Amino acid sequence: MSGTVFRYSAKDAAGKSRSGVISAPSEAEAAEALSRSGLTPLALKPGGAPRRARAKLDDRAAAMRRLASLLEAKAPLDRALKLAGGSDSAEDLFADLSLSIAAGRPLSAAMADWPGDFSEAEAALFTAGETTGALDRSADAAATLLERRSSGRRAVSSALAYPAFVVIAAILALAVFIGFAQPRFQEVLLATGAKVSPPTAWFFWISGILREWGGLAILMMFAAGITAFLMSFSAAGKRIIANFSLKLPLIGPLLADRAFESFSGALGAMLTGGATLPEAARLSSRLLGATQLEDAGLAAAASIDRGEAYSAALRSTGAFPETLVAFVEIGEETGALAPLLTRAGTHFGQEAEARARRLSAVAAPAATAVLGLLIGVGAYLMMTAVLDVYDAAL
């Protein structure tokens, strides 16, 4: 059933304000669905959900896992959605899904109304579940996808957190020293009339350059970070970031493994849920992120419609690792493509975790060594300047 997306504001029986998005065939049916749910509509107008996620990824994964359990226990869908939201950031999101269901909207279509919270692949899982009558399996597969994404983010964050902290601490310490301590020390030294040694003169020269241009450099890095953050809210921006990230040493292979994990897991889950291979391959390709990987995945999906074996299509693109192609090839030969793709997702997840551990093991000591080197050089140059003052006093 087609519907219109409405943004609403309402009050519940306790007088608490609520706002969100509901899908319904008409404004009157949207208002009726709100009223049936115990909400008093205050405003209702056509609109759409923001592309930014409304609920935290971990909370969405936990809510989807609860939904799978409730549906397996034969709970009614609208009630299961309300209960699945829990009491965290996913509560209102899943309550709005329940409202859309009450207004006659299919769950897959209601999920598509929240592109910031649910990917095309997750909505497609429920489309297949609605076709086959196995929504519990769809919810279970969607929960697995969300959990994989959450674990992937944690692995990357934990690998980069300490090195990033050390770099930021080094920059702040250097800024305080160069901006405040060094200029005053230089004034005292020059006031003594002492002869400045070459290392001290070099130290003062470098400090002057950093004072003049360091603020601009920090401002540019901050602006780049803000720009990347804002870009992450759009599909085009995410692709640009993904394209750049894949080219980075050490980090690029880790992100590639995470992309192949998401792709394999989603493909296996959708096939298990009853989706056709061409459709599942097309939607799973959207999860690869980087333009070159996504384009390769879409090309391979199109090759299936032309009668080509999927493994051969993937191999011909040259963008997918041979390990993944081998899993697909064996799955086609044995008729167990869905479970083997799920195992492929697990394999790439384990590879990514191993890479994250290696990255953390290398990056943390490297960042500490750089910080120690900066401190050592600074201490040496400061002592050189102190000795210049001491020589002048003699």
Given the structure tokens 């697990």, which residue do they identify? 346
Q: Report yes or no: 201 and 190 within 8 Å, Cβ to Cβ.
A: no
At 1 the pLDDT is 46
Does residue 328 register a pLDDT over 90? yes
Average pLDDT rounded to a whole number, residues 157-176:
74
Percent of the chain with pLDDT over 90: 18
In this predicted model, which residue has the larger pLDDT, 319 or 166?
319
Does residue 364 register a pLDDT over 80? no
Does residue 2 register a pLDDT over 60? no
pLDDT tens track for 54-71: 889 899 999 999 999 999
At 99 the pLDDT is 86
Average pLDDT rounded to a whole number, residues 162-176:
74
> In terms of Cα–Cα distance, which of 371, 332, 345 is closest to 265?
345
> In terms of Cα–Cα distance, which of 165, 159, 166, 176 is closest to 370?
166
Global pTM value: 0.69
Q: What are phi and psi of 173, to 5 degrees?
A: -65, -40
Q: Report yes or no: 143 and 68 within 8 Å, Cβ to Cβ.
A: yes
Q: What are the structural domain ranges in the chain?
A: 1-118, 124-394
> What crossing angle do the helices spanning 235-246 and 291-305 adopt, rounded to 10°?
110
Average pLDDT rounded to a whole number, residues 119-127:
81
Average pLDDT rounded to a whole number, residues 279-293:
85
Does residue 121 register a pLDDT over 70? yes
pLDDT averaged over the chain?
82
